[in-house]
Structure 1
Amino acid sequence: MTTRSSSLDSSQPSVSRVLIVDDHEIVRQGYRQILGNDPSLEICGEAATEMEATQKITQLNPDLVVVDISLRNGHGLEICKQIRAWNEQSDASSPSPMKSLVVSAHDDELYAERALHAGASGYLNKGETGERLVEAIHRVLEGKIFLSPKMTERILNRLIAGQQDEYQSPMDTLTDRELAVFELIGKGLTTKEVASDLELSPKTVESYREKIKEKLNLPNANRLVRAAVQYVLEDA
């Protein structure tokens, strides 16, 4: 992995390098327009898949990776986990840890905490404004956590109470991979297509399907598909 550059001239303003990971070109164009207005931020690269993101992260070594959850191939939370692993393997002489911010259209009540557990420093819904995006990026670059006020209150209340969230749904029991499989089933993908999208074997996907049915108390494959389709429609 290349080393992030740092200016020796203190008179020069520092510029943070940002890698954008999203599988929609129109969304990436929006990022370019929004972040292009902030001289302290530079988009150093873009990626549309998990594999491409991994390659770009290794090559470019950005300060921050802004990543969507649902990608054309792969899953955004896996990228956050990779970044966390790279940071843990870095020695004390390396630059400040690479950070990640998840920006997604998915409901933050289901994904925000998953993003933090995966190693991200924040979660922003795509329904927010460009100003809110810039605010989130700067907060994460400063080493802080960024969440919506609603999610911050929810997490703090649970920590203070020292107990599980009383509003936890069966969906919360799914692992990140199981949830990714469930979402793709809801989008109409076959087991073979889900395996290809997430770079898994069909046998592994079948195993995930069985675990999902068990956790959500779904008696058969038809009920699984119906529940997945309903989830995708409601999440959209």
Structure 2
Amino acid sequence: MKPPSKSENKAAKGCKVLLVEDHPMFREHLGNLINRELGMSVCGEADNIRDAMRLIHETSPDIAIVDITLRGSSGLELIKDIKAQKLELNVLVLSMHDEELYAERALRAGAKGYITKNEASTEVVRAIRSVLQGDVYASRRMTAKLLERLTRKRVAPDLAGMETLADRELEVFQMLGRGSSTREIAQSLGLGESTVETYRARIKEKLRLRSAAELYLRAGQWVRDQGA
């Protein structure tokens, strides 16, 4: 008889799930959904990178479900930290952010899947199980878009220019859209104010914006459109 696979062993013992999400109500809903599933249980919850990393080391979860927007930072940075520390942890991103812009970034950072919060609960569970089995999860819509980009190199009009932003630039752009000042962004991300100013200048150049007013206007509209 063939010995059970690693994924089968996990299923038999029960898979531990870490939730990294900054909205308490959604975190509670997601926790209830997971705890109802056979062979799954929530082993911890966090809304920021520091607490998430502490829980990863304390609880050794099988999978972390991570939002892009976290308190004080970005889920992308958490995913990069997990990869940099060579931790054996599957990561599934569950976010409201446009998957056409963020899914590829998340996968490059080390995530094993990306799903948006407007998907049905059954699809979220399917994504979790898919990643736990060692597969990479992407929605059919996202897979089709990625293939189209590879073959036609077309970008949606509302994303034009956004793809050129580096991950940290995108994070700063989002914080600007929420009305954060340079000092507030610097304190939140642990950067110098001059570094934030450099990011602002690069963003303006890449998005072809002429003034700080245009930058804040574009960033604010982006945040509203993304529901972030």
Q: Same fold (TM over 0.5)?
A: yes
The size of the alignment, in residue pairs, is 217
After TM superposition, the score normalised by the length of structure 1 is 0.86
Inter-partner Cα distance in structure 2 for 1:50 and 1:74: 7
TM-score, normalised with respect to structure 2 = 0.89
2:42 aligns with 43
Structure 2 unaligned regions, length at least 5: 1-5
Q: CA deviation at 1:135?
A: 0.6
**CA deviation after TM superposition for structure 1 residue 152, in Å:** 0.5
Q: Tell me whether 1:80 sits opposite 2:71 in the alignment.
A: no
The answer (yes or no) to whether the contact 1:73–1:199 under 8 Å persists in 2 is no
In structure 1, the residue corresponding to 2:138 is in which secondary structure? coil
Deviations 1:48-107 (A, max 9, x none): 1111112211222211110001111111001111122223xx6xxxxxx31101101111
Unaligned runs of 5+ residues in structure 1 are 1-6, 91-96
Paired residue secondary structure (2:68): coil
Give CA-to-partner distance per residue, 1:205-233, whole Å, 9 cap, x none.
11110110111011111111111011111
Structure 2 Cα separation of the partners of residues 126 and 48 of structure 1: 16
Tell me how far 1:164 sits from its aligned partner: 4.0
- 1:157 positional shift: 3.6
The answer on 1:194 being equivalent to 2:193 is no
- Return the structure number with greater helix share: 2
Equivalence for 1:63: 62
CA RMSD of aligned residues (A): 1.8
For residues 115 and 187 of structure 2, the distance between their equivalents in structure 1, rounded to whole angstroms, comes to: 28
* Cα distance change on mapping 1:158 and 1:231 into 2, 3 Å: closer
Residue 143 of structure 1 aligns to a residue whose secondary structure is coil
Q: Which letter maps to 1:176?
A: D
The aligned residue for residue 3 of structure 1 is none
Q: How does 1:25-174 map to 2 (within 5 A)?
A: 25-87=24-86, 97-159=88-150, 161=151, 164-167=153-156, 169-174=160-165
**Match of 1:176?**
167
- Contact 1:51/1:74 (CA < 8 Å) preserved in 2? no
Pair 1:15 & 2:6 matched = no
> Are 2:201 and 1:210 aligned?
yes
Give the superposition deviation at 1:200.
2.1
